[in-house]
């Protein structure tokens, strides 16, 4: 009992002065600390919103890039399908007599007057089709008192021939034809018998020419 009275007497000065004990620890928290926490929450919310905005922009850019890629592919395909075949035409002549040759002798025309598109190879006397299409070809042979003939070959198969020299004196034969070719097909001239070239430098009468009529 004395102990309780002693404790009360010890507390009287504090009670008299209006001192109050606060049992709630939050009530004594620093207000500035509470503001800092709220500020951090606001920053996190703003950061989340910004991330979402940036992600939306990235997704939109990806979609735009995909659309552009698809348009480029379609444009490329359209260009490939509408690309026109380059026009090609050539004209060649033989400036000298080759003489007697056996069947299947490839004639290499040594004078090339025209070679648009470079489809004709003057080294081998072979024309190579640059694209699918219909082509016009002409071959001529001029001989003096000697017979001979020439064959127009497509990939090794005769598609036309001309002959000359069956009569006495000077004779000339020739033919024109059309052929449907696929890109890469080869067309050349082979001789058989006597193959003449010219009477003079101004009279060249053995030749080979061709041109593209219509691309397919």
Collapsed DSSP state (helix, strand, coil) of residue 158: strand
Alpha carbon distance 92, 183 (integer Å):
21
- Report if residue 149 sits inside a domain: yes
Residue ranges in the chain whose pLDDT is less than 50: 2, 5, 7-9, 11-12, 14-28, 81-82
pLDDT of 15: 45
- For residue 14, the model assigns a pLDDT of 46
CB of 142 closer than 8 Å to CB of 107: no
Does residue 56 lie within any of the structural domains?
no
The reply to whether the predicted model has a pTM over 0.75 is no
Task: Give residue-wise pLDDT tens across range 18-27.
Answer: 444 444 444 4
Structure tokens at 57: 């922009």
Sequential DSSP letters for 89-156:
EEEEE--S--EEEEEEEEP---EEEEEETT-EETTTTEEE-SSSEEEEEEEEEEEESS-EEEEEEETT
**What CATH code is carried by the domain that includes residue 170?**
2.60.120.40
Report if residue 77 sits inside a domain: no
Residue 125 lies in a domain: yes
Q: Does a structural domain hold residue 93?
A: yes
Domain count, the chain: 1
pLDDT for 21 equals: 43
Is there a domain that residue 64 lies in? Answer: no
From CA 143, how far away is CA 148, in angstroms rounded?
A: 7
Q: For residue 8, tell me if it sits in a domain.
A: no
Phi/psi at 26 (nearest 5 deg)? -70, -30
- Two tokens, residue 191: 């001789």
Dist CA 110 CA 104 (whole Å): 18
Residue 214 structure tokens? 């219509």
CA–CA separation, 143 and 99 (whole Å) = 10
Spatial CA neighbour of 163 closest among 137, 207, 195, 209: 195
Q: CA-CA distance, 56 to 148, in Å (whole number)?
A: 82
Tokens of 205: 């009468």
Range of the domain at 144: 89-215
Give, in order, the Cα–Cα distances in Å from 10 to each of 65, 81, 91, 151: 82, 106, 132, 138
SS3 content of the chain, % helix, strand, coil (to 5): 35, 40, 25
* β-strand pairing of 120-121 with 126-128: antiparallel
User: For residues 195 and 173, what is the distance between their CA atoms, to the nearest angstrom?
Assistant: 12
Residue 84 lies in a domain: no
């Amino acid at each position: 009992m004395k102990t309780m009275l002693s404790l009360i007497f010890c507390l009287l000065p504090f009670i008299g002065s209006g001192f109050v004990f606060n049992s709630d620890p939050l009530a004594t928290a620093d207000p500035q600390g509470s503001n800092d926490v709220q500020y951090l929450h606001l920053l996190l919310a703003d950061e989340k919103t910004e991330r979402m905005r940036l992600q939306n922009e990235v997704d939109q850019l990806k979609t735009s890039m995909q659309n552009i890629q698809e348009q480029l592919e379609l444009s490329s395909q359209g260009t490939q399908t509408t690309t026109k075949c380059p026009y090609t035409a050539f004209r060649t002549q033989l400036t000298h007599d080759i003489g007697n040759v056996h069947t299947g002798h490839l004639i290499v025309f040594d004078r090339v007057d025209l070679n648009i598109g470079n489809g004709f190879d003057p080294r081998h006397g072979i024309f190579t089709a640059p694209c699918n299409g219909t082509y016009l070809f002409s071959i001529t042979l001029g001989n003096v008192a000697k017979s001979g003939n020439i064959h127009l070959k497509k990939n090794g198969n005769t598609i036309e021939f001309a002959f000359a020299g069956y009569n006495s004196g000077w004779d000339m034969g020739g033919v024109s034809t059309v052929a449907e070719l696929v890109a890469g097909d080869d067309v050349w001239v082979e001789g058989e018998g006597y193959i003449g070239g010219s009477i003079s430098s101004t009279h060249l009468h053995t030749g080979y020419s061709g041109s593209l009529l219509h691309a397919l």
